[in-house]
Structure 1
Amino acid sequence: MTKTEVTETEPRSTWKNWLRGRSELGICLLLAALGVLVLVDAATISTDFTQRGPVGPKTVPYVVGGLLLVVAVLLVRDVLRGGRGEAESGEDVDLSAPSDWRTVLLLSASFLANAVLINIIGFPLSGMILFWGCAYALGSRNAVRDPLVAAVLSVLTYVVFNNLLGVPLPGGPLMGVL
């Protein structure tokens, strides 16, 4: 091995070793990119309407984008000074256990079924499928109680949003009943 080969590989391994203990810098980069994206998007907001009050439509996005950049800079400073995030800990969490992909897939299927069916059968029925599917995925196996609780939750959610809050949800076949 020649001397030039040694000098070419040393900086790479040193750089990798330096980054290995500072993985939080990836989050800093993500926060900074998100902050820049929010600021650029806020600059494109149209102001072709009559503004009421001192706060316009660009104010909140500018504040949020600016705060994202500030947090990114403060986190970079903390990481470079040796700060490290603590590993997750909890009483009932086994960090060595593998992921439960069956539960994740069942929850995803319940959510996707709701998204596909909401405009076809309405929110009360698709919400019932969502609530019951989530209960089943998370381990509940009561064949009588689970669908009843899902139906009550779904109809209650529909009534609160549609009738009380004025947020229209598709009613489906139950449109005239509720």
Structure 2
Amino acid sequence: MTTAPTPTETPAPERNGGLLRGRPELGVSLLLLVLGVLVLTDALTMDGEFTQRGPVGPQTVPLIVGALLAVVAVLLAVDVLRGGRGEAEGGEDIDLAAPGDWRTVLLLAAVLLGNAVLIEPLGFPLSGALLFWGAAYALGSRNTVRDPLIAAVLSVVTFLVFNNLLGVALPGGPLMKVL
């Protein structure tokens, strides 16, 4: 038989670390709200000469998306504060008790940041090869011959597809000046 908490007892989340303890969904709700406000602010402060063809202007979609993000954020926060919880991952190949692999996450973040810094001076073919090889290394591949070769081929093919077929100009860098 369970009994209701007496007035001197406090619910577990408040007693063990405050309102956010055991409620990570509130962080997601806050992130959605901030993103929604950012999108709404950006849409409302749009300036410039836009050509409007038809009844829908360039602000319409960002306003709708921003408003929906804010509404979903509020609804999620209300649901969580009323006791709603996200269902735990039910994957059969996932060990839910295992800690996060922060080394891999940090290596991938470093590779992406390095690509962002190096893409302009080196060009996409070289920085992209470093990106692909670095991502493979961060995810556990240690083949010192195969990985750089695949990374180089992927990078050059990606560059050629975007640059020549799709018409999206990527920086070629010194390698493309030689070729």
Q: TM bucket by the smaller chain?
A: 0.7 to 0.9
Shift of 1:21: 5.7
Shift of 1:176: 4.4
CA distance in 1, matches of 2:177, 2:135: 28
More helix by share: 1
2:37 matched to which residue of 1? 36
CA distance in 2, matches of 1:172, 1:55: 40
In the TM superposition, 1:1-178 aligns within 5 A as: 16-17=14-15, 19=19, 20=21, 22-176=23-177
Q: 1:52 to 1:115 in 2, by over 3 A?
A: same
Q: What TM-score results when the alignment is normalised by the length of structure 2? A: 0.78
Shift of 1:77: 4.2
Q: Is the 8 A contact 1:47 1:57 kept in 2?
A: no
AA matched with 2:79? D
Question: How many equivalent pairs are there?
Answer: 169
CA distance in 1, matches of 2:68, 2:28: 15
Q: Which moved more, 1:55-64 or 1:95-104?
A: 95-104
AA matched with 1:72? A
AA matched with 1:66? A
* Structure with max Cα Rg: 1
2:4 matched to which residue of 1? none
Q: Is the 8 A contact 2:50 2:58 kept in 1?
A: no
Q: 1:140 to 1:30 in 2, by over 3 A?
A: closer
Q: 1:106 to 1:74 in 2, by over 3 A?
A: closer
CA distance in 2, matches of 1:113, 1:175: 20
CA distance in 2, matches of 1:28, 1:107: 26
Q: Is the 8 A contact 1:28 1:75 kept in 2?
A: yes
Shift of 1:32: 2.7
1:39-90 Cα deviation digits (max 9, x unpaired): 2221111153332222211011111011112212332443344321012332
Where does structure 1 lack aligned partners over 5 or more consecutive residues? 1-6
CA distance in 2, matches of 1:138, 1:23: 27
AA matched with 1:28? S
Q: 1:83 to 1:141 in 2, by over 3 A?
A: same
Q: Is the 8 A contact 2:120 2:171 kept in 1?
A: yes
Where does structure 2 lack aligned partners over 5 or more consecutive residues? 1-6
1:4 matched to which residue of 2? none
Q: What TM-score results when the alignment is normalised by the length of structure 1? A: 0.79
